Amino acid sequence: MSTLLWVVYPYLAVAVLVGGLIWRYRYDKFGWTTRSSQLYESAVLRWGSPMFHFGVLMVLVGHIGGLLIPKSWTEAVGVTEHAYHLMAVFVGTVAGFCTLIGMAILIARRRLTGPVFAATTRNDKAMYVVLAAVIVLGLFATLRANVAGDGYDYRETISPWFRSLFYLSPDPEIMAGVPFAFQIHIIAAFALFAFWPFTRLVHAFSAPVGYLTRPYVVYRSRDARAGLRPARPGWEGPPR
């Protein structure tokens, strides 16, 4: 079971993520979109969307820093474990609650706004459930370990295991002593990765790179040149 959860399952989820993105890009380019509902309602969206995306961005930066950067590197530049822990817990908790509150606003908007709810698919509902589960489990694990408990240094267990996946030499035994709440959070996160290519979340892998090389859009004014009719205000009728 340990090998299945911490070796086979992560690689399988990443394989589905990469293969699904390639398949989606090749065979469903027109479906590679957020299916924006801003035309239906924008007042609530203006509050929920920035809060959600800001929180997600901060959570992503925190996870990249905590999982990919070894503990020895931060200590080598003068960041003590205590300072890093306080910063990570504070910023991570704030970012997590921003993400959760923003998503709650977006879900309420989607449910209470008729046209937006009519455009919501079963796939969207399943995506919201999985995404909410990952966020709630992450917040629960963090608060339980650092508020209700004595703290937990995941950079000594989860981070080395996560990096070992990239080395193609994962050690499932490292995860044996990880608290159960963190284990469930990790399992849910990899489930989200596997589900990602088949949802509207694919827009996270999009960037307007084509805007850098596309030709300029030329606008010309109506100059008073020979052969052109003189411009007249719109309220004036045609000459008689």
**Eight-class DSSP state of 211:** G
- The answer to whether 132 touches 103, Cβ cutoff 8 Å, is yes
Q: What are phi and psi of 145, to 5 degrees?
A: -80, -35
185 is in an annotated binding site: yes
Please list, residue by residue across 223-237, b when 16 or more beta carbons sit within 10 angstroms of its beta carbon and e when fewer do.
Answer: eeeeeeeeeeeeeee
Q: What is the Cα–Cα distance from 146 to 135, expressed in whole angstroms?
A: 17
82 is in an annotated binding site: no
Q: What is the Cα–Cα distance from 170 to 62, expressed in whole angstroms?
A: 22
Q: Residue 131 half-sphere exposure, CB side, CA atoms within 13 Å?
A: 21
- The answer to whether 7 touches 172, Cβ cutoff 8 Å, is yes
Binding site for heme b, residues?
A: 53, 63, 185, 203
Binding site, residues?
A: 53, 63, 185, 203
